[in-house]
Structures are given as structure tokens and as C-alpha cells.
């Protein structure tokens, strides 16, 4: 912001604090659509929960005799499930231990890799590239980070930074391959990144049978991370939330600056919006594709670091879980904006934390979370659909340029 203050003339459009921009993004006309999309998705999820609940189906058997019984069964079924979801994600006064009550910190723990990998997808998306490969980049990041983390023993001040760097490099290599092939041969990044995801899994399975295998285990799993190589826990041993969250928040700030303020981000956005005009204006589009995929891959690699050095502590083939795919939905829900991605990741982290509690306390499979998440994204991607459901008039011109 220091540049703006050196200018004395009134320049209204450029004066805007980072905070107000976040608010504007959240408060923009589309925010209504986003909220409604979440609501509709939760309603559909609720319907699914209700119709598969034996109590509801039992009550529905005598629906005409006693409709109230059915409705109350539906209510208790859905409210129990979503209640457990909400409490698990935020605060649960009924939990037996005080640590268990504070689900909000589980939410932050789950959100950490989602923020980082969501940023990876967001950044590439703004440069016009669809990075479906966060999954593979996370795996590579975790593998590189692990190789440094359990393969070496370094002093505390050096080891963790080395792990972080290694993870970023691992992800960057995997993302960079897609960027390089896109730039040099025109290979479609969607196809290449999908394929690289599966190659990454095979690669890590191979390594876990050979070079990276824990000699004391019969399973394909690596040794534990060195004590110096893991993220310190932020709130002591009772909570899993770790310093990776700080890395993630710094990454949000960094990507926000990169996209909105830096010349590099200007280039990326120009390339994303109109690569031909970018080329004519002297930007090197192919270099842009390569570097943006390197950075994007590095961000996903950091998500891998958050996994291995934050929560998992050792490498196995499931290290990435479904984070790489959730990252895509997170970025879409966040409308490909850094802070939007941040909040979307928090929401999805809450779903994950709450989903576990829901599975335990309300006997509703955590798979419903995937259903709700995907519905949210579908509805958000199709504003006309949400508008027609709620009969909202299109506030702005829709597709007028087509």
C-alpha cells in the first residue's frame, strides 16, 4: 500500500485495502448465489439422510395414519446428522473430553492442506490452466518432503525448512511437467495432469516397496519423520492443528499479492484471459505456462508437506487422501480468488471434521459430505439454475458477449 500513499492526487479506484477487497469478494452479488447453493446442497443431502434412515422409512409406513410421526422422524434424522456435523466442526458441549469439544481446531487442521492445494488450482486457473493434478503434486511433495524428513537427520532450525523446500520442489516438478508439455507441445494440461496423478501413485507405491520402505514394517509404509522435521503443534499436544496453517495463510497472502499486485500475476491473468493478446504484448506465454505450473505444483507440494510433516508423520500411498480432488472444488467454490479459496477451504475443512463426528454420533456415512460438496460446486457453477430455483432475477447481464 505504500505506493498509493506517495501519490497525492485522488485516485479512487486504486485505493483499497486488502481487507476491503476480501469483503467485497465475499459480499459481491455472487455471494448470495454461493450461500443459496450451500443451502440447496444441504437440503438435498438432508433428503438423502432422511430417506435412508430406517426410522423415517418405518414412520413413513403409516404416513397417512400419522403424518406427524413421519415429519418428526425426518426432523430428528436430519437435525441429528447436521447437528453432529456442526458440533464436530465447531464446538461440541456434549463431547466427553474438553479437547473433543473443540472441533474447530480439527476444522483448521483439515483446512490446512485444502487451503494450499486449493490455491494451487486457483493460481493455475487464473492463468487459464486447469490443474486437475493437485493430487499427484501432493503425493510428490509428500514423497520429497518425506525423503528429507525421515531420510536425514538435521538440526532443528534447518530440518523443517529443508522439508518444506523439498516438498515444494517435488510438487513443482510434477506440476512443471504439465506446464512444460503444455508450453512446448500444446498437450492439454487436463489430460496430462490426470495421467500424472496415477503415475504418481504408482511411483510412490514402487518407492514404498523399495527405497523409502520402513525396514521394520511389512507394509508399504515409510519410517516416521524425524522429530526435527515436523511442524510444531500450535496449541500443544491436545490438538492436531500445526504450524502448517501459518504456512497456508502466508501462502494465501502471497498468492493474493502475486495475482493482484505483481507484474508476474498481471502476466498470468493476461495469459489466462487472452493468450494471443498477451503474446502480442511481449509476454512469453509458454514461459508463463511453465512458471505458473511450477508455482502451482509447489503450492500443492506444500499441501503434501502439511500432510506428512503436520498430521500423518509418515508416507503411505494414501497420503493425499482426496485432498487433490477436493482442492478443485475448493477453488471453484472460492471463485478462483485467493481469499475466496481460503474461506472455501475452511468450509470444506469443517465438513471433513464434522463429517467424522457425524459418522460416529449420527451413523451417517461421511460420504454424504462428498455429495454435499459436489452439489455445492454444481450449483455455484450454474447460477441460472439457482436463480430459477429461487426466482431471483439476473442482476447483471449474462453471457451478453457471446
Partner 1 sequence: MKLELRGITKSFGALVANDHIDLVVESGEIHSLLGENGAGKSTLMNVLYGLHEPTAGEILIDDKPVKFSGPADAMAAGIGMVHQHFMLVPVFTVAENVALGGESTGFAGILDLEATRRKIREISSRFGFHVDPDALVEELPVGVQQRVEIIKALVRNARILILDEPTAVLTPRETDELMDIMGQLKAGGTSIVFISHKLREVKAISDTITVIRRGKVVGSADPSAATTELASMMVGRAVNLTLDKADATPGDETFKVTNLTVMNDAGQRLLDDVTFSVSDGEILAVAGVQGNGQTELTEAVLGLQKHVMGSIMLDGKELVGRSVRQVLDAGVGFVPEDRQDDGLVGEFSIAENLVLDLYTKEPYSRFGSMNRAVIARNAEEKVAEFDVRTQSAQDAADTLSGGNQQKVVLARELARPLKLFIAAQPTRGVDVGSIEFLHKRIVAERDAGTPVVIVSTELDEVLELGDRIAVLFAGRLMGIVPGKSSRELLGLMMAGLPADEARAQLDAPAAGTAGQSEGELP
Partner 2 sequence: MSVTANISPSKAVDRVAVRSWKLPILFGLLALFAVVVFVVLGPSGQATFRISQEGDAWQVPDLAVPAKVFGVVVAILCVLLAARAYQQMRNGGRIDNWVSMTFTVAFVVGLLVWIIGGTKTQNITLVGLFTGAMLITTPLVFGSLSGVLCERSGVVNIAIEGQLLAGAFTASLVSSITHNAYAGLFAAAVAGVLVSFLLAAFSIKYVVNQIIVGVVLNVLVSGLTGFLFEKIMKIKVDGATIYNQPAQLPDLPIPLLSQIPVIGPTLFRQSIIGYLMLVLVAGIWFGLFRTRWGLRIRAVGEHPKAADTVGINVNRTRFLNVLAGGAVAGVGGAYFTLVAVSSFSKDMTGGLGFIALAALIFGRWNPIGAALAALLFGVAGNLQSILSLAGTPIDGQFLAMLPYALTILAVSGFVGKSRAPAADGEPYIKG
Residues at the interface with partner 1 (CB under 8 A): 3-4, 7, 9, 11, 13-15, 257, 261-264, 266-267, 269-270, 273-274, 276-284, 397, 400-401
Helix (H, G, I), strand (E, B) or coil at 8: coil
Helix (H, G, I), strand (E, B) or coil at 94: coil
Nearer to partner 2, 152 or 203 (CB): 203
Among 185, 216, 219, 263, binds partner 2 (CB under 8 A): 185
Q: Determine the Cα–Cα distance for residues 313 and 224; give it in Å rounded to an integer.
A: 6
Q: Determine the Cα–Cα distance for residues 104 and 258; give it in Å rounded to an integer.
A: 30
Interacting positions 318-337 with partner 2 (CB under 8 A) = 325, 328-329, 332
CA terminus-to-terminus distance, the chain:
37
Q: H helices of 127-155, where?
A: 134-151
Minimum separation from the CB atom of position 237 to partner 2 (A) = 33
Nearer to partner 1, 244 or 265 (CB): 265
Grid cell 469483503 in the structure block, residue = 23
12 secondary structure, DSSP code = G
90 secondary structure, DSSP code = S
Which does residue 43 bind out of partner 2, partner 1, none, counting CB within 5 to 8 angstroms by kind? none
Which does residue 106 bind out of partner 2, partner 1, none, counting CB within 5 to 8 angstroms by kind? none
- Site mask for partner 2 (CB under 8 A), range 94-133, x = bound: ------------------------------------x-x-
Does the protein bind partner 2 through residue 385 (CB under 8 A)? Answer: yes
Nearer to partner 1, 27 or 277 (CB): 277
Interacting positions 189-208 with partner 2 (CB under 8 A) = 190-192, 194-196, 198-199, 202-203, 205-206
Q: Determine the Cα–Cα distance for residues 14 and 16; give it in Å rounded to an integer.
A: 6
Which H/E stretch holds residue 251?
A: helix 244-261
Nearer to partner 1, 206 or 257 (CB): 257
Minimum separation from the CB atom of position 61 to partner 2 (A) = 16
Which does residue 196 bind out of partner 2, partner 1, none, counting CB within 5 to 8 angstroms by kind? partner 2
Count how many Cα atoms sit within 13 Å of the Cα of residue 394 in the half-sphere of its side chain.
Answer: 9
Q: Determine the Cα–Cα distance for residues 145 and 359; give it in Å rounded to an integer.
A: 32
Among 69, 152, 378, 392, binds partner 2 (CB under 8 A): 378
**DSSP secondary structure letters along 209-244:** HTTT--TT-SSS-PPPPPGGGSPPBTT-TT---BTH
For residues 326 and 154, is the Cβ–Cβ distance under 8 A? no
Q: What is the dihedral of CA 358, 362, 364, 368, to 10 degrees?
A: -40
Does the protein bind partner 2 through residue 209 (CB under 8 A)? Answer: yes
As given in the structure block, the three cell numbers for residue 20 are 476491503
Nearer to partner 2, 42 or 187 (CB): 187
Among 58, 235, 253, 381, binds partner 2 (CB under 8 A): 381
Nearer to partner 1, 68 or 400 (CB): 400
Count how many Cα atoms sit within 13 Å of the Cα of residue 357 in the half-sphere of its side chain.
Answer: 30
Phi-psi region of 4 (alpha: psi -120 to 50; beta: other; left: phi over 0): alpha
Nearer to partner 1, 270 or 315 (CB): 270
Which does residue 402 bind out of partner 1, partner 2, none, counting CB within 5 to 8 angstroms by kind? partner 2
Q: Determine the Cα–Cα distance for residues 343 and 291; give it in Å rounded to an integer.
A: 26
Does the protein bind partner 2 through residue 76 (CB under 8 A)? Answer: no
Residue 21 burial class via C-beta count within 10 angstroms: exposed 0-12, middle 13-18, buried 19 and up: middle
Does the protein bind partner 2 through residue 371 (CB under 8 A)? Answer: yes
Q: Determine the Cα–Cα distance for residues 51 and 57; give it in Å rounded to an integer.
A: 7
Which does residue 132 bind out of partner 2, partner 1, none, counting CB within 5 to 8 angstroms by kind? partner 2
Interacting positions 8-37 with partner 2 (CB under 8 A) = none
Does the protein bind partner 2 through residue 262 (CB under 8 A)? Answer: no
Residues that bind partner 2 (CB under 8 A): 48, 52, 130, 132, 181, 185-188, 190-192, 194-196, 198-199, 202-203, 205-206, 209-210, 325, 328-329, 332, 365, 367-375, 377-378, 381-382, 384-385, 399, 402
Amino acid at each position: 500500500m505504500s505506493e498509493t500513499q506517495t501519490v497525492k492526487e485522488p485516485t479512487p479506484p486504486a485505493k483499497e485495502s486488502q481487507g476491503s477487497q476480501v469483503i467485497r469478494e465475499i459480499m459481491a452479488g455472487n455471494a448470495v448465489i454461493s450461500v443459496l447453493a450451500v443451502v440447496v446442497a444441504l437440503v438435498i443431502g438432508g433428503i438423502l439422510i432422511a430417506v435412508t434412515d430406517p426410522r423415517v422409512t418405518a414412520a413413513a409406513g403409516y404416513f397417512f395414519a400419522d403424518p406427524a410421526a413421519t415429519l418428526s422422524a425426518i426432523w430428528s434424522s436430519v437435525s441429528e446428522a447436521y447437528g453432529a456435523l456442526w458440533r464436530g466442526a465447531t464446538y461440541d458441549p456434549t463431547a466427553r473430553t474438553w479437547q473433543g469439544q473443540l472441533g474447530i481446531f480439527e476444522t483448521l487442521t483439515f483446512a490446512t492442506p485444502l487451503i494450499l492445494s486449493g490455491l494451487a488450482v486457483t493460481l493455475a486457473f487464473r492463468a487459464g490452466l486447469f490443474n486437475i493434478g493437485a493430487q499427484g503434486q501432493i503425493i510428490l511433495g509428500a514423497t520429497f518432503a518425506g525423503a528429507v524428513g525421515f531420510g536425514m537427520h538435521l538440526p532443528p532450525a534447518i530440518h523443517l525448512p529443508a522439508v518444506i523446500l523439498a516438498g515444494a520442489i517435488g510438487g513443482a516438478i510434477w506440476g512443471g511437467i504439465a506446464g512444460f508439455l503444455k508450453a512446448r507441445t500444446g498437450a492439454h494440461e487436463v489430460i496430462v495432469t490426470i495421467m500424472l496423478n496415477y503415475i504418481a501413485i504408482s511411483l510412490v507405491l514402487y518407492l514404498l516397496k523399495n527405497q523409502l520402505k520402513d525396514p521394520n514394517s511389512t507394509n508399504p509404509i515409510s519410517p516416521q519423520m524425524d522429530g526435527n522435521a515436523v511442524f510444531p503443534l500450535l496449541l500443544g499436544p491436545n490438538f492436531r492443528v500445526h504450524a502448517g496453517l501459518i504456512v497456508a495463510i502466508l501462502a494465501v497472502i502471497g498468492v493474493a499479492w502475486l495475482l493482484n499486485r505483481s507484474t508476474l500475476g498481471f502476466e498470468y491473468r493476461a495469459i489466462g484471459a487472452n493468450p494471443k493478446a498477451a503474446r502480442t504484448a511481449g509476454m512469453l506465454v509458454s514461459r508463463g505456462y511453465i512458471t505458473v505450473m511450477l508455482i502451482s505444483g509447489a503450492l500443492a507440494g506444500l499441501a503434501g508437506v502439511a500432510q506428512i510433516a503436520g498430521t500423518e508423520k509418515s508416507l503411505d500411498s494414501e497420503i493425499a487422501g482426496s485432498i487433490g480432488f477436493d482442492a478443485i472444488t475448493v477453488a471453484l467454490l472460492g471463485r478462483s480468488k485467493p481469499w475466496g479459496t481460503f474461506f472455501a477451504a475452511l468450509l470444506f475443512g469443517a465438513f471433513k471434521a464434522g463429517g467424522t463426528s457425524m459418522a460416529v454420533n449420527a451413523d451417517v456415512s461421511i460420504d454424504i459430505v462428498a455429495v454435499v460438496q459436489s452439489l455445492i460446486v454444481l450449483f455455484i457453477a450454474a447460477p441460472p439454475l439457482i436463480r430459477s430455483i429461487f426466482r431471483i432475477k439476473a442482476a447483471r447481464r449474462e453471457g451478453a458477449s457471446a
